[in-house]
Structure 1
Amino acid sequence: MNDSHHHTAHASSEYRLVYALILSSVFLVAEIAGGILTHSLALISDAAHMLTDVTALAIALVAIRLGKRPADRVRTFGYYRFEILAAAFNTILLFLVALYIVYEAYSRLSNPPEIQSLGMLVIALIGLLVNLAAMWILTASKDKSLNMKSAYLEVWSDALGSIGVIAGAIIIRFTGWSWVDSLVAVLIGIWVLPRTWVLLKESINVLLEGVPAHINLETLEAAARGVDGVKDIHELHVWTITSGRVSLTAHVVIDKSRDCEQVLQKIRELFASQFGISHTTLQHESKKCLDGEEICNLGIHS
C-alpha cells in the first residue's frame, strides 16, 4: 500500500468518524434526558454504553489526526502507532463496560427496578436508528484499520444493546417481568466479550511487533530462499507499524557470482506481490554473519 493511498483512506475514515461522532453525541444527551424523565435505569445504563461509543469515536478521530503528523528525528516511523494505541484503549474500555453490564444485571436479578416500559421502548427505538445510521457511516472504513474496526464494534455492540432494550421493553410492557431486562443485559455481555477479546489480541500483537496474522513466517522465508541467487536469509523480522503498513528487515546471503541489486529487487517484488509487504530493508552479505563476530560485505537497500 503506497502512502498516497494510505492517506486517502485515512481522510475518508476521518470524515466518517466526524459524522458518526456528531450523531452519537446528540443521541447521548437525548438518552440521558430520557432516562431521567422516565426513571429508567436501563436507559441510563445504555447511555453509559453510548458514552463509551462517543469516547471511542473521539479517540479514534484524534488518533487519525495524530497519525497524519510526519516522521521526525524522534519518531522516525511517524505517529501511525497512535492508531493502534487507540484501538487497544477502545477495546479495553468496551471490555470493562461489558463486565460492568453483566455485574449490574446480576445485581438487579434480586431487586429489579420499576421500569416505565413505554418511554423506554420509544427512546430505545430512536437509539437503534441512530446506531444503525452510525454503523452505515462507518461500514466502508471498518476493515481498513484496527482503529476503525474497534470504533465500529463499539457502535455495533450498542446497537445490539438497543435491540435488547427494545425486546425487554416489549416483554415487560405485556408481562410485567422486570427481570427480563437483566437477562437481556447478560446475554449481550456474553456475546460482546469474546469479540472484544479477539480485537484486543490483534492490537496487542501489533504493539508487541508480532508477525501479522495473515503472514506465515516459514512460508515467507521459504519463498525468499527460492529466489535464484539466494544462499541464505536470516535476521528476518516482520511486524506491523499500523493497519495496512507491514515492514520487513532481513539479512540475505547472495551468491558472489550474482548481481546483488537484481537479486534484492526480485526479493522485494516477491514480498510485495505475494505477501503485501512494500516496506522492506534488506542487507546483503557474501557470507552469513555470526552475531557480529565477523565483518561482512554489507550493502543497505530499502
Structure 2
Amino acid sequence: MASHDHSHHVSPDDPHDHSHDHDHSHGHSHDHAPTVTTDSVKRVRLAMILTAGFMLAEVAGGWISGSLALLADAGHMFSDSFSLGLALFAFYMGDKAPDKLRTFGYQRFQVLAAFVNGLTLLAIAAWIFIAAIQRFTQPVDVLAGPMMVVAILGLMINLVVFKILHGGDQENLNLRGAMLHVIGDLLGSVAAIVASVVIMLTGWMPIDPLLSMLAAALILRAAWKILRRSSHTLLEGTPEGVDVGQIRQALLDVEGVKSLHDIHVWGLTPQDPLLSVHLVIEAPELHDGVIERAYDMLQTRFDIQHATLQVETRDCLTGGECNHGMVVHP
C-alpha cells in the first residue's frame, strides 16, 4: 500500500468493494435506521387520538363557561395533537431508506419535528400571556361548575396520555417532546380546577387568567428545554454524554497511532453519535491493525457504531483543518 493512500475513509462494512474491508462480525455498521420501536409508534398514535378527541370537549367547555384556563388548555392540547401527529410522521420519515439525495436517510427529520414542537409551545405560551393580560383589563364572568367538570375530565385524560407516553423510549427526542407537551396539559388542567374552586368559593374572577399565566410560564420552560436540545443537534453539536477529549485520548492510545487531527463528533439524532477523524500512523504496514483496533475501541468504550477513519502516514497529508484539529478546545 502506498504511504499516501487516501481511500481509507469509509467504515469497514461499506457495501462497496474496498481492499481494506474487514469481517462484518465486528459490527461496524452504516445502518442509520432510527431507534424507534413499534411500541413507541403505537403509544404516540393512541396518545394523539385521545388528545385530539378531548381537545374538542375542552374547546366547547371553555367557550360555554368563559374560562380562559380551559381555552388555554384546549389550545395546548391542539398543539399536542399537532406535535404527536408530527412525531408519527417523523417516525415514518426516519424509517425511509437513504437515497442519492439524502445518503444518511431521513433520521434528522425527527430532530426537525422536535424543533417545530418547541416553537409551537412558545407560540401557545405567548397566546396565553396575551389573552390573560386582556382578561385583567376586561374581566369576564366564568361559570365555575362546567369549568370544573371539564377540567377534571381533562386531568384524567392527560394522566392516561402521560402514562402511555412515559412507558415508551425516553431517549427519543420526539417522544420526550410530546411528553413535555402533556405535562403542560396536566398543569393546565390543575390550574383550571383550582381556578374553578376559587371562583365557586369566593367569586374572584382574576384567578382564571392568573393561573393561566402561571401555566404559560411552565410551558415556556418546557419549550426552552426541547428547543435547546433539538437546536444543538441541528447545529451538529456533540451528542450529550460524549466527551470528545476522552475519545481523542483513547484514539491516541491505540497501538500504531502517532497523532490525529480533524476530529469531529456529531449525531443524526441525540441517540446516534457519528465520528470522523484523520489518524496518522507510524508505518503503512500498521494500517489494517490500527483500523481494527480503533473501530473496536470506539464501539466498546463509547458506543459509536459509525465512524469514518482517514488513515495517513504523514501529518495533514490530505489537508483539512489540521491546525484546528490537533487540540480539542473546551
TM-score by length of 2: 0.83
Partner SS state of residue 265, structure 2 = strand
1:189-200 correspondence runs (5 A) = 189-200=216-227
1:66 matches 2:87: no
Instruction: Determine which of 42, 65, 90 is the counterpart of 1:15.
Output: 42
CA distance in 2, matches of 1:5, 1:289: 29
Distance in 2, matches of 1:233 and 1:80, equals 29
Which structure is richer in relative contact order (CA contacts within 8 A, separation 6 or more)? 2
Match of 1:280 in 2: 307
Is 1:219 the counterpart of 2:259 in the alignment? Answer: no
User: Taking structure 1 as the reference length, what is the TM-score of the superposition?
Assistant: 0.90
Match of residue 44 from structure 1:
71
Residue of structure 2 equivalent to 1:300: none
Q: Which residue of 2 aligns with 1:253?
A: 280
The amino acid of 2:201's aligned partner reads F
* Partner residue, 2:236: 209
Deviation, structure 1 residue 7: 5.4
Tell me which of 169, 172, 175 is aligned to 2:199: 172
Whether 2:140 is the aligned partner of 1:113: answer yes
| C-alpha distance in 2 between matches for 1:223 and 1:252 | 12
Distance 1:10 1:69 in 2: 14
Instruction: Name the CA shift for 1:6/1:65 in 2 (closer, same or farther; >3 Å).
Output: same
Contact 2:70-2:188 at 8 Å conserved across structures: no
Structure 1 ranges of 4+ moved more than 6 A: 1-5
Match of 1:296 in 2: none
CA–CA distance in structure 1, aligned partners of residues 311 and 196 of structure 2: 68
Higher fraction of helix: 1
**What's the CA shift for 1:285?**
0.8
Question: Are the equivalent residues in 2 in contact too, given 1:209–1:239 (CA < 8 A)?
Answer: yes
Percent of aligned pairs sharing the same letter: 36
1:69-84 to 2 correspondence within 5 Å?
69-84=96-111
In structure 2, how many angstroms separate the alpha carbons of the residues matched to 1:155 and 1:195? 10
Count of matched residue pairs: 293
Q: Which runs of 5+ in 1 are unaligned?
A: 294-302
SS of match in other structure, 2:100: coil
Q: 1:35 to 1:182 in 2, by over 3 A?
A: closer
8 Å CA contact retained: 2:55, 2:77 = yes
Structure 1 residues 8, 234: closer, same or farther in 2, change over 3 A?
A: closer
State the SS of the aligned residue for 1:242: coil
Give how far 1:142 is off.
5.0
**Residue segments in structure 2 that go unaligned for 5+ positions in a row:** 1-26, 321-330
